Amino acid sequence: MIPKLEAAEVSEALATLPDWTHDPVRGAIRRDFRFADFNEAFGFMTRLALAAERADHHPEWFNVYNRVEVTLTTHDCQGLSQRDIDLARLADRAFDATKGAR
Give me the residues that bind ligand H2B (CB under 6 A), please: 56-58, 74-76
Least Å from the CB of residue 78 to ligand H2B: 9
- List of residues 6+ apart from 20 with CB closer than 8 A: 14, 29, 30, 31, 88
Cβ distance to ligand H2B smaller for residue 37 or 76 = 76
Cβ distance to ligand H2B smaller for residue 74 or 98 = 74
- Rounded Cα gap, residues 84 and 82, in angstroms: 5
3-state helix, strand, coil in the chain (%, to 5): 45, 25, 35
Cβ distance to ligand H2B smaller for residue 2 or 14 = 2
Least Å from the CB of residue 3 to ligand H2B: 12
Least Å from the CB of residue 7 to ligand H2B: 20
Cβ distance to ligand H2B smaller for residue 47 or 57 = 57
Least Å from the CB of residue 101 to ligand H2B: 26
With CA atoms as reference, report the closest residue to 2 among 47, 55, 71.
55
- List of residues 6+ apart from 42 with CB closer than 8 A: 63
